[in-house]
Chain A
Amino acid sequence: MTHDPHQQAQELIACRGDGLTEAQQTWLQAHLASCDSCRDYAEAADQLVRALRSVPIAADPALVRTTQLRARAYAHKLQQQQERMWLIWISCAVVTLFTALTTPLLWQGFAWVGAWIRVPALLWQTGFVMFWIAPALAASLLFAARGTFLGSRNGTPQG
C-alpha cells in the first residue's frame, strides 16, 4: 500500500463495496470530505461503472435453446455411461464375492481329483492356479484386442 494519501484513496475507491474494512471506509470518507480531486475521481469512477453496466448484452434465445438441447442430449449420454459403470461395479462385486466363496471348494475339488488320479501335488496345484486365473486372463485379452474400453467411452463431447 502506498504512502501517498491520494493514491491510497484512489486504490480504495476501486475496491469499494465488500473490498474495504470498516477502518478503510472511515478513512476514505474522511479523505473524500476534504479532498476535491479524490472526490472527482470517485465520481468519475461511479460514472464509469454506470456506463459499463449500461452496455446491453443479451444471449440470443436461439443460442440458449440450442445449448439446452445439446446439454440435455449430453446429460443423457453421461447418465447412460454412469449407469453402465454401475453395472460394471456391481458385476465386479458379485464376481469377487462368488470367487471368495467358491475358491476353497474348488481347492478341495482339485485336491480330491489329484489324489484320485494319483498325480503329484504340484501338478494339481498348478492346474488349480491356471483354472483360477483363466477368466481374468481371457477378459484381459478380450479388452486388449478391442482397444481400451474406458478410453473410448470417456471421450470429449462431440457436436
Chain B
Amino acid sequence: MNATACYFVNWMEPENTAIARGLRRHDPDLLDRLIEQYQHRLLRYLIYLTGSRETAEDLFQETWLRVLERGGQYDGKHNFSTWLFAVARNLTIDLQRRKKPESLDTPRGEDEAPLDIPDSGQPSALDVVAQRELSERVMAGLARIPADYRETIVLRFHEGLSLEEIATVTGAPVGTVKSRLYRGLNALMPRLKGAQG
C-alpha cells in the first residue's frame, strides 16, 4: 500500500469511528451533517432503485430515520456510505414486498414508463437541451435493464463504490458483482447508441 493510500485509510478510520459513536448517541447535529453530505448520492441511488422520484423521496426520509434507529449496528469499520446504501436498499426491498410480491431483481417491462427525469435546474441554452435529451436517454436506458444490473452500474459508476463495497451493499459475492457490471454495460450500450458524446 502506498503512502497516499495509507494516509487515506488512517484519515477515514477516525471519521467512520466518530460517525459510529455519534450514531450510538443519536446525535442530531451529526445527523444534520450526514444528511447534508449524502443527500444527492442517496436520493440518486433511490431514484435509480425505485424508478420513481416520489417514492425515492419518501424512502429518503425513511432511510435517515432507520439510520437513527439502527445506528448502533454501524461499527465504523466500513465506509458509512456503504452501510447507508445497504439500509436504503433494505427499506426499498421491504417497500416493494409490501406493494407487490416482486423482487428488486424484477426487470421493468418495456411498456412501463421510464424512470422519472429529475428537474435539471435552470434551462437556458441549446447545450442544456442536449444535456436534458442525453439524460432522458440514459434514464430510459437504465429503466429498461434488469434492476440488479442497474443497481450495480449506479453504485459503481455513479457513486464510485469499490467492488467489495457493492458486494457488501447488495449482499452478492464479488464475482457476481463483476458479472453484473459486464452484463449491465452490455445491456445498456446498445440502448444509448447515438446518445453518447
Known A15-B178, A56-B118, A67-B64; judge A50-B35 contact (CB<8 A): no
Give chain B nearest CB distance to A17 CB in angstroms. Answer: 8
Partner of A10, one of B36, B44, B157, B182: B182
Known A67-B60, A78-B68; judge A15-B31 contact (CB<8 A): no
The answer on a CB contact under 8 Å between A58 and B195 is: no
Interface: B197 (CB within 8 A)? yes
Known A19-B178, A75-B68; judge A48-B28 contact (CB<8 A): no
The answer on a CB contact under 8 Å between A57 and B47 is: yes
Partner of B182, one of A14, A55, A64: A14
The answer on a CB contact under 8 Å between A57 and B189 is: no
Known A67-B35, A71-B65, A75-B31; judge A51-B43 contact (CB<8 A): no
- Which chain A positions have C-beta within 8 A of B60? 59, 63, 67
Tell me how many residues of B have a C-beta within 8 Å of chain A.
52
Which residues in chain B, 142-197, are within 8 Å of chain A measured between CB atoms? 142, 153-154, 157-158, 162-163, 178-179, 181-182, 184-186, 188-189, 192, 195-197
Known A55-B138, A57-B44; judge A74-B192 contact (CB<8 A): no
The answer on a CB contact under 8 Å between A45 and B189 is: yes
Interface size grouping (class) on chain A: 35 or more
The answer on a CB contact under 8 Å between A56 and B43 is: no
Q: Roughly how many angstroms separate A13 CA and B185 CA in the complex, as a whole number? A: 10
Interface: A84 (CB within 8 A)? no
Interface: B10 (CB within 8 A)? no
The answer on a CB contact under 8 Å between B178 and A14 is: yes
- Which chain B positions have C-beta within 8 A of A52? 138, 142, 153-154, 157-158
Residue of B nearest to A70 (CB): B61
Residue of A nearest to B62 (CB): A157
The answer on a CB contact under 8 Å between A64 and B135 is: no
The answer on a CB contact under 8 Å between B158 and A56 is: no
The answer on a CB contact under 8 Å between B153 and A58 is: no
Known A57-B118, A79-B26; judge A47-B163 contact (CB<8 A): no
- Residue in A14, A45, A76 whose Cβ sees the most chain B Cβ within 10 Å: A14
The answer on a CB contact under 8 Å between A74 and B68 is: yes
Give chain A nearest CB distance to B60 CB in angstroms. Answer: 6
- Which chain A positions have C-beta within 8 A of B178? 11, 14-15, 19
Interface: A66 (CB within 8 A)? yes
- Which chain A positions have C-beta within 8 A of B197? 47, 51
Give chain B nearest CB distance to A84 CB in angstroms. Answer: 13
Enumerate chain B interface residues (CB-CB to A < 8 A).
25-28, 31-32, 35-36, 39-40, 42-44, 47, 57, 60-61, 64-66, 68-69, 118-121, 131, 134-135, 137-139, 142, 153-154, 157-158, 162-163, 178-179, 181-182, 184-186, 188-189, 192, 195-197
Not counting A48-B188, A54-B138, a sample of 5 additional A-B residue pairs whose C-beta atoms are within 8 angstroms of each other reads: A11-B178, A15-B182, A55-B134, A63-B61, A82-B26
